[in-house]
Structure 1
Amino acid sequence: MTVLRTATLVAATVATGLSAGLFYSYACSVMPGLARADDRTFVEAMQRINVAILNGWFALSFAGAMVLLVAAAVLQFRGGGGTAQWWVLAATALYAVLLVVTVTVNVPLNNRLAAAGDPGGGIDLAAVRADFEQVWVRWNVVRALAGTAAFACLARALTLTGL
């Protein structure tokens, strides 16, 4: 049971770190870079990114992180994980914040951006961008912070378990 508990905690940490890193990358490079682009480039790039990210590798780490976090928390509590179990529980709560923000804010914005249509099709690109960019960026920072905090909690849990 100790091996399973440890392996699950390590896997949860890796998956959470991948998600945290993704949202951090958007906050530090992707969105600041696109902020310097014209409206057509911004809208087209974000539409393409939003399609490209819907792939199995992303789904595996993004959704898999929560599955692994819940499993790690259960295994920690069942195995008498001591203080580490509370760090895993905190990480799970923080990752839940990331998921809720994604599902309630960022994905609906992505869907609205997709529904705006082809950037070359005569749509008001400035209005489409204005309705999307500022809110999406703000909430992505929340996701990046929640993911990073979850990752830090898991790192602490790993150290408390002797890893």
Structure 2
Amino acid sequence: MAVLRTVTLIGAVLTTGLSAGLFYSYACSVMPGLAQVDDRAFVATMQRINVAILNGWFLLSFLGALVLIVLAALLQWRGGGDRTALLWIGAAAVLYVGMIVVTAAVNVPLNDRLAAAGAPADLADPAAVRAAFEQVWVRWNLVRALAATAAFACLTWALALTGRSS
């Protein structure tokens, strides 16, 4: 049981780290880079990114992290693991669920509206489409990055605690 608890927690740490890294890379490179392009290029690129990201690898880490966090908490609770580590895993779960809520409530609807705007070449006012998207999306992506990074830190600490108690 201890090995399964550890392996599950390691998986939660890794998948949460991947999600945190994704949102971090958007915050510090993708969106600042796109801020430098014209409106049509911005809309076209974000539309393509939003289609490309919907793939199995992304979903495996994005949703798999939550599954592994919950499973790690259950194994820690039912398997007699370190209760302090369980609290940190619980904190990670709350943070990660918050990140998913922000994604579902803000970023995905913005992505959907951007897709519904149509082909960039056909837009009468690409600047207005961009303006309705960019600042809000960037701001809430930063919230996602911070929440996922905090969840990653909580899980990392929980893993360290379980290593100490072994």
Q: Distance in 2 between matches of 1:7 and 1:162?
A: 12
Q: Where does residue 55 of structure 2 map in the other structure?
A: 55
Matched, 1:139 2:140: yes
- The Cα offsets for residues 44-85 of structure 1, whole Å up to 9 and x where unpaired, read as 000000000000000000010101111011111112322101
Normalised TM-score (structure 1): 0.98
1:128 aligns with 2:129: yes
The count of residues paired between Structure 1 and Structure 2 equals 163
1:154 CA drift (Å): 0.6
| Counterpart secondary structure, 1:120 | helix
Contact 1:39 1:126 in 2 (8 A): yes
Report the counterpart of residue 30 of structure 2 in structure 1. Answer: 30
Q: Which runs of 4+ in 1 moved over 3 A?
A: none
Counterpart mapping for 1:87-126 below 5 A: 87-126=88-127
**Structure 2 partner of 1:10:** 10
> Percentage identity across aligned positions?
71
Aligned residue in 1 for 2:76: 76
Q: Which residue of 2 aligns with 1:156?
A: 157
CA contact (8 A) 2:117 2:123 kept: no
Q: For structure 2, list consecutive stretches of 5 or more residues without a partner in the other structure.
A: none
What 5-or-longer segments of structure 1 have no aligned partner?
none
